[in-house]
Chains A and B, each alone.
Chain A
Amino acid sequence: MATIHIDPLEKRWIWVVGGIVGLTIGIQVFYAATAAIHPPSNVEVIDSAKLHLGGEFAEDKLGVKKEADGSYTVTMVAARYGFYPQSIEVPANTPVKLRIASLDVLHGLHVPYSNMNVMVVPGYVSEVHTQFTNAGDFPMICNEYCGLGHDYMYAKVHVTGGKS
């Protein structure tokens, strides 16, 4: 098999590139392993058509609940064109688990100035673990095209305590 000729300068460049790639991959694997920084990935199925009939996403079960260990679980539904409940309140610097499902089509939920960003895929339950570090009022925007009312789809979160 023939060998190829690589200019020494280009060889050096390839080492630099390898270093950059190795560093970026390494940082992310490090934080995934030590600080549990993962994108939301729970792979849990649910019948989107029957959300309201009972179970975790029944109409009277939505909202914010404080758990025994002091963390908060927020249960929401995305349905054209709103998030329900439309307004929630959680404290800052406290673990929050969001569980959300879609009644109809693809939605997304994003809270600016936080890392709560998740796709809501019908047929599946999405789960996000985060902590809000900034206090104040923030929108919870739908950031995936869900139809002609997509622009108007957002809810509000009021984060208490912590720094503004």
Chain B
Amino acid sequence: MKIKTMKNKIVMSLAAVGAALMVSQGVAAEHGAGAAAKGPSTNVAWTPEQLRLVASGDKNRGGQLNRDMFCASCHGDQGVAPTGNWPSLAGQRAEYTFKMLKDYKDGKRHGSATAEIMVQVAQQLSDQDMADLAQFYASFKLPSLPVGVSFDAAKADQAKAVVTRGDGKRLVAPCQACHGPNGEGAVTDTPALAGMPPEYFIKTMHEYKSGARANDVYSRMRLIAKTLSDEEINQMAHYYAGMTAK
């Protein structure tokens, strides 16, 4: 996409963002209870063609997009969020980032105010743009916490049992079995969680718990989140937040 065309798109997206912020209040109220869109939870399927597309992303172009599309204002110049209520994307698995952008564009992820912003942003992105951005964020190492955000080591410790050993009674596998022993995520699209700001982690898990977020295939995360207490979610948030702290 040429720069001139992109700048036009940016102006349009800024306007769209403003509109979205106004509209999203009402939208959130309507979708908040988890009325998922019809059809599959996501249109993304990990066929070899899809994987090839994501792998072909150009991280330099992605860096340019990060600046020009103002992604950096929420997600940081290098994928580390400036405040605790946005997710850091540094070191995130490219397939996951790509899928999220696609899900936003297809309306599979929506509902909250911030989700609606992303839905509007994603409309501006082609599949190649998404792949480029995904590779850009993936090129960094896992993020440290945003400035001013800290984690509670005591809470983190309490999460260890479920994170490392799961809970057979609730049919919950250990978080680390999918998300990795260092919170780095895993093939193909299981996201990295290390260094995630606790506030964002908690928000996400509650969205799964209520069904407001419904882009997980076969409801895998929704089913798990439903079995977890708020206290456990809180502890896990601090566990993962603290993973990249030295």
Chain A interface residues (CB < 8 Å from chain B): 47, 49-50, 52-54, 58-59, 62, 77, 79-82, 84, 86, 103-104, 147-149, 151-156
Interface residues in B173-202 by Cβ distance below 8 A to A read: 173-174, 176-178, 188
Q: In the bound complex, do residue B171 and residue A155 qualify as a contact, i.e. CB atoms below 8 Å apart? A: yes
Q: In the bound complex, do residue B219 and residue A59 qualify as a contact, i.e. CB atoms below 8 Å apart? A: yes
Q: In the bound complex, do residue B41 and residue A52 qualify as a contact, i.e. CB atoms below 8 Å apart? A: yes
Other A-B contacts than A52-B42, A53-B45, A81-B177, 7 sampled, CB-CB below 8 A, are A47-B47, A49-B50, A50-B45, A52-B218, A103-B218, A149-B166, A156-B171
A-B contact pairs, 9 of them (CB 8 A): A49-B47, A49-B50, A52-B42, A52-B217, A58-B40, A79-B217, A81-B177, A148-B174, A153-B173
The interface residues of chain B lying within 8 Å CB-to-CB of A54 are: 39-40
Taking CB as reference atom, which chain A residue is nearest B180?
Answer: A148
The interface residues of chain B lying within 8 Å CB-to-CB of A81 are: 173, 177-178
Q: B71 on the interface (CB 8 Å rule)?
A: no
The interface residues of chain A lying within 8 Å CB-to-CB of B50 are: 49
The interface residues of chain A lying within 8 Å CB-to-CB of B174 are: 148-149, 152
In whole angstroms, how far apart are the Cα atoms of A148 and B47 in the complex? 23
Chain B interface residues (CB < 8 Å from chain A): 39-43, 45-47, 50, 166, 168, 171-174, 176-178, 188, 217-220, 223
The interface residues of chain B lying within 8 Å CB-to-CB of A52 are: 40-42, 45, 217-218
In whole angstroms, how far apart are the Cα atoms of A53 and B41 in the complex? 8
Q: In the bound complex, do residue B168 and residue A152 qualify as a contact, i.e. CB atoms below 8 Å apart? A: yes
Of B46, B47, B171, B178, most buried by chain A (CB within 10 Å of CB) is B171
The interface residues of chain A lying within 8 Å CB-to-CB of B42 are: 52
Residue in B172, B177, B218 whose beta carbon sits within 8 Å of that of A79 in the complex: B218
Q: In the bound complex, do residue B46 and residue A49 qualify as a contact, i.e. CB atoms below 8 Å apart? A: yes
Q: In the bound complex, do residue B171 and residue A59 qualify as a contact, i.e. CB atoms below 8 Å apart? A: no
Give min CB distance, B164 to chain A, whole Å.
Answer: 11
Give min CB distance, A137 to chain B, whole Å.
Answer: 13
Q: In the bound complex, do residue B41 and residue A82 qualify as a contact, i.e. CB atoms below 8 Å apart? A: no
Residue in A84, A149, A152 whose beta carbon sits within 8 Å of that of B218 in the complex: A84
In whole angstroms, how far apart are the Cα atoms of A151 and B166 in the complex? 10
The interface residues of chain B lying within 8 Å CB-to-CB of A84 are: 218-220
In whole angstroms, how far apart are the Cα atoms of A59 and B41 in the complex? 8
The interface residues of chain B lying within 8 Å CB-to-CB of A147 are: 177
Given A149-B173, A152-B168, A152-B171, answer yes or no on A82-B223 (Cβ-Cβ < 8 Å).
Answer: yes
The interface residues of chain A lying within 8 Å CB-to-CB of B188 are: 104
Q: In the bound complex, do residue A148 and residue B177 qualify as a contact, i.e. CB atoms below 8 Å apart? A: yes
Of A77, A84, A148, A153, most buried by chain B (CB within 10 Å of CB) is A148
In whole angstroms, how far apart are the Cα atoms of A146 and B172 in the complex? 16
Give min CB distance, B79 to chain A, whole Å.
Answer: 26
Given A52-B217, A59-B217, A152-B172, answer yes or no on A80-B41 (Cβ-Cβ < 8 Å).
Answer: no
Of A77, A152, A153, most buried by chain B (CB within 10 Å of CB) is A152
The interface residues of chain A lying within 8 Å CB-to-CB of B41 are: 52, 59
The interface residues of chain A lying within 8 Å CB-to-CB of B178 are: 80-81, 149
The interface residues of chain A lying within 8 Å CB-to-CB of B172 are: 152
The interface residues of chain B lying within 8 Å CB-to-CB of A59 are: 40-41, 217-219
In whole angstroms, how far apart are the Cα atoms of A1 and B73 in the complex? 91
Q: In the bound complex, do residue A152 and residue B177 qualify as a contact, i.e. CB atoms below 8 Å apart? A: yes
Give min CB distance, B87 to chain A, whole Å.
Answer: 23
